[in-house]
Homo-oligomer: A and B are copies of this chain.
Amino acid sequence: MGRRIADVSAPARLAGPGEGLGQDELALAARNHALPLEAMRHDVTPPGLHYVLTHYDIPYVPDAAAWRLTVGGHVRRPLGLSPARLRAYPAVTTRVTLECAGNGRALLTPRPVSQPWLVGAVGTADWTGVPLRVLLDEAGVRAGAVDVVFTGADHGVERGVEQDYQRSLPLSTATGDDPEVLVAYAMNGAPLPPQHGSPLRLVVPGWYGMAQVKWLRAVTVLDGPFTGFQQSVAYRIRKAPGDTGEPVTRIAPRALLIPPGFPDFMSRTRVVAPGTVALEGRAWSGSAPVTAVEVSTDAGATWRPAELEPDHGHRWAWRRWSGVWSAVPGHHVLSARAHDAAGHTQPSEQPWNLGGFANNLVQRVPVFCSGTA
């Protein structure tokens, strides 16, 4: 019988051919909330419908006023900031679409055994807080600074490594103004809910969720690169276990359909009546603005342009798109795909990697059109 903490962790693995999900994956799926796709009708996601991924436990913070955010390390004037003190700075509100880097993982073959997202690990909120560079300016970053590390209050074990959740950004990103990184204290105009990082969290527009450190308690400037678990071991694009891999950073483009019609309870197959069916959804990209969305109603064999709404001044939020479909009786598969200004689009073959990250394969929505032809 093991006596070391490391023994509670199993090694990373891939599911075997045809292997269903295990209770470990189910435990994660039950804890970590996906966005029900019909909730994409809301420009701003109601907080209880926004996706949530928590590596360990949601910290219990009965007295938010006692919380302190430290800004320290390679700085001249370390800071200790209460939530009230942060609210005294000029507030910035940014509408941001956040997406988990593992979104789409459970659709991969073979399936990396981890949080089993289908496509709903996304959400959009108005985040209010203080630009991180304002705090770093006040602390006075010293010459030679390289990375800025963000430490959350969530604590656990992962592949044998006991840790507080920690991620870093390069100094240039942490102090940049496009995107402007926020230390946020409000979501959609209300204090952060517990599962979204109450009382303080990081928001890095355009980056996948692993960068958006919740329950933020320390900002630490380093004079060298950060090599913590979540930076050097997890969240890297690797084809084989020995690879160094590329870091996961910005969100790849994706368009999702709001499944039309109504569902079957168990299969979630959609049912529509013959005739004109309004299609709508959302599209986003963290690397560059979305420039076009296409839809397919024949499982990706042919594509046609959708109407793409302007961003209404919200560069970092998803954009609404729409189209129409003349449905005829039978079984159909609907899809959408996004293109961005950097020339990226969504693949029709799965972009597989060991961790199951950044899988932006086009969505498939099975629809049954009832009636007779």
- List the interface of chain A (C-beta within 8 A of B): 1-5, 7-10, 19-31, 33-34, 36, 38-39, 41-42, 46-50, 52, 54-58, 60, 106, 113-114, 116-118, 120, 155-159, 162, 193-196, 259, 262-269, 271, 329-331, 368, 370-373
Contacts and interface: CB of A to CB of B under 8 A. Distances in A.
Given A48-B48, A194-B46, A268-B24, A56 B262 contact: yes
B23 A106 contact: yes
B34 A31 contact: yes
A28 B34 CA distance: 10
Question: What is the total number of copies of this protein in its complex?
Answer: 2
Given A26-B21, A57-B263, A262-B157, A4 B370 contact: yes
Nearest to A29: B29
Given A36-B54, A368-B8, A118 B267 contact: no
List the 3 shortest-distance A-B pairs measured between CB atoms, nearest first: A20-B20, A48-B48, A21-B21
B157 A264 contact: yes
A56 B8 contact: no
Contact of A266 (B54, B114, B368): B114
Given A22-B20, A57-B38, A58-B38, A30 B262 contact: no
Contacts of A266: 9-10, 24, 28, 113-114, 158-159
Residue among A28, A47, A106, A263 facing the most chain B CB atoms (10 A cut-off): A263
22 contacts: A3-B370, A5-B368, A5-B370, A7-B368, A8-B271, A9-B267, A21-B22, A21-B25, A26-B116, A27-B118, A31-B36, A36-B58, A39-B58, A41-B60, A48-B52, A48-B195, A49-B195, A55-B265, A157-B262, A157-B263, A159-B265, A162-B271
